[in-house]
Amino acid sequence: MVSLVPTYKHGVRRAEGCSGRSFRCSALPLMRAHSTTAPLHQGLPGSLWKLGRLNHIAIAVPDMEKATALYRDVLGATVSDKVPLPEHGVYTVFVELGNTKLELLHPLGEKSPIAGFLQKNKSGGMHHICIEVDDIKAAIVDLKAKNIRTLSAEPRIGAHGKPVMFLLKTVTVCWWSLKRREHLSLTWELFIHKYIFHRQFDNKS
């Protein structure tokens, strides 16, 4: 799995055509995913790897118990147990939505990247979008050739026991590999089609 980490500066911007509502832009890393369905592939002509389906949307939350209760007890969604991932500095909970998943992220440890995210986004917000690819190895080679930097020399193991790698560029990407079918998850923090925003839900925005 791979994650492209946005390099945008933090700040509040106005989204075009959104009635003047403010969104906060944030630049932080992301996580993982898992799929058992064959993706619909698309990609550049001649590319050795292709994009698949949306796998999940990850949301950083300041209170994991309250967030889990909202999706499970109020909205009636199926949620997983809370799983610690100390190597990534996060707790994760997956919310099943049928056509995709939500991944709830909460800090684990003082050096957690999610802790820094929540310091700048007190109410939490969208952390990344994960899109599958069909060949993680080819994707890594290709993206490195396009000057997209990685946060580590080699992939790490993510939430579902699959290889994961984080990338540094203008989007956030998440990739993972299945036993017989390799997938890459492009983790994009998007709003509309141009910017990366984090909605401010508190009264300070």
Domain boundaries, the chain: 2-33+44-199
Residue 113, pLDDT above cutoff 80:
yes
d(CA 13, CA 159): 32
d(CA 22, CA 25): 10
pLDDT of residue 41: 63
Q: State the chain's mean pLDDT as an integer.
A: 68
CATH code for the domain defined by 2-33+44-199: 3.10.180.10
Per the listing, tokens 């939430």 go with: 159
Q: Rounded mean pLDDT of 104-115?
A: 92
d(CA 19, CA 8): 23
Among 65-79, 100-114, 130-144, which is the least confidently predicted range?
130-144
Is pTM, for the whole model, over 0.75? no
Question: Which tokens in the block code for residue 78?
Answer: 């199926």
Among 49-58, 61-70, 96-105, 192-201, which is the least confidently predicted range?
192-201
pLDDT of residue 114: 92
pLDDT of residue 174: 52
pLDDT of residue 196: 31
pLDDT 10s digits, 57-91: 889 999 999 999 999 999 999 999 999 999 889 99
